[in-house]
Amino acid sequence: MPIDPSLCPAIFGVFGKTLTDRERAFFQEVKPFGFILFARNIGDPDQVRALTESLKPLAAANPCPILIDQEGGRVARLRPPHWPDYPRGVVFGRLFDLDPAEAKRAIYLNSRLIAADLHDLGITVDCLPVLDVPARGGHDVIGDRAYARHADTVAQLGREACAGLIDGGVLPVIKHIPGHGRAAADTHVELPTVTTKAATLRRTDFAPFKALRDAPFAMTAHVIYADLDPDFPATTSRTVIDGVIRKTIGFDGALMSDDLNMQALSGTLAERAFASQQAGCDLALHCNGEYDDMVAVASGLEHASPATLRRLTRAMSWLAAPKPFDREAGVWERDALLARVGGG
């Protein structure tokens, strides 16, 4: 899976449903690792396929990493009438309480169905599963996106969600490492501080990520963990990335920041990009597609380190052709399983 070593270690959004000449020229010049799509980029299937085809030759990685947030529930960029609605994460946790084996089968099928949709459009990476463990007082920005309030349940369901995506030719991103469930604020708007002791975090919040530490990609949390680093959120904390994500959790895959445009982070976009890279993020994620913002992010980044290139190459090596799958039968079986808890 070749990756141009002179790449810009970033994932960028695009502004609309087609590339502009200015965007194309910028991407050709900086060679980003990949791209991410949002609802503003989505029309009908033919339009999305045309957009992904236009992006493929502009990425530094081949095959091109094209990301999307297709979780189900309220976080879904592909929606009816062209694509089905998918269940909220919490539904699988409810089924797990009744029958763990059925829940794991249901979430595997659900992710396999999502992967079928994405692969058909040329989308190669899904920002799923959510491994955050909600806690009392946590903001609803996670809420029903989370599978359960028990770390082991989250880990088991997350493992099956990853398997369904991978079998469908799509790579998973575990998020939001090392855990967003206790954050009492929405990081799109402000920076939350978690004061829970590190020993408790290791037993609970960090545990699902440790269980899935072999995943190809992970996305950071813009959250301060005061007992670990009282000054910087995980995304820009060398202490958290080195000491917790890489060592305690043991994740050695490709680590991307959450969106640098979120207001939990301070400083200019160039400063945010630089800080995330210096802290240990392999990739800077910038989502809004604003041209001047992307130029600023690129200006703050240095060339990828040999360790980053190794992790990116290894992450993309997971990508394979989809295994045979009967989509109609998959829908029927998943829906029959979820009927026990009222569907999605």
Summarised one tens digit per residue, pLDDT across range 177-223 is: 999 999 988 899 999 999 999 999 999 999 999 999 999 999 999 99
Task: Give the pLDDT confidence score for residue 282 in this predicted structure.
Answer: 98
- The question of whether 82 is a catalytic residue gets the answer no
- CATH class belonging to 8-341: alpha beta
Q: State yes or no: cis peptide before 178, omega within 30 of 0.
A: yes
Instruction: Provide mean pLDDT across the span 135-164.
Output: 94
Closest by CA position to 284, among listed 33, 15, 64, 29 = 33
Instruction: Provide mean pLDDT across the span 21-32.
Output: 98
Selecting among 126, 205, 229, 258, the annotated active-site residue is 258
| DSSP strands (E only) in the chain | 8-13, 32-37, 66-68, 70-72, 75-76, 125-126, 171-177, 193-194, 217-220, 224-225, 254-256, 284-286
**Report field, pTM of the whole predicted structure over 0.85:** yes
Q: Count the neighbouring beta carbons within 10 Å of the beta carbon of residue 57.
A: 11
**Range in 80-94, 126-140, 306-320 the model is least confident about:** 126-140
Whole-angstrom distance, CA of residue 179 vs CA of residue 194:
10
Q: Write down the residue that tokens 């879904």 correspond to.
A: 76
Task: Give the pLDDT confidence score for residue 272 in this predicted structure.
Answer: 98
Are the beta carbons of 91 and 294 closer than 8 angstroms?
Answer: no
Per-residue pLDDT tens over the stretch 234-282? 999 999 999 999 999 999 999 999 999 999 999 999 999 999 999 999 9
Confidence at 306, pLDDT banded by 50, 70, 90: very high
Selecting among 44, 97, 188, 214, the annotated active-site residue is 188
Q: Is 34 left (phi over 0), alpha (psi -120 to 50) or beta?
A: beta
Confidence at 102, pLDDT banded by 50, 70, 90: very high
Instruction: Provide mean pLDDT across the span 13-31.
Output: 97
- The question of whether 303 is a catalytic residue gets the answer no
Closest by CA position to 308, among listed 56, 74, 4 = 4
Whole-angstrom distance, CA of residue 336 vs CA of residue 78:
23
The yes-or-no verdict on residue 7 having pLDDT over 70 is: yes
Half-sphere exposure of 166 (CA within 13 A, CB side): 18
Closest by CA position to 75, among listed 178, 173, 191, 171 = 173
Confidence at 163, pLDDT banded by 50, 70, 90: very high
Task: Give the pLDDT confidence score for residue 175 in this predicted structure.
Answer: 98
Task: Give the pLDDT confidence score for residue 1 in this predicted structure.
Answer: 57
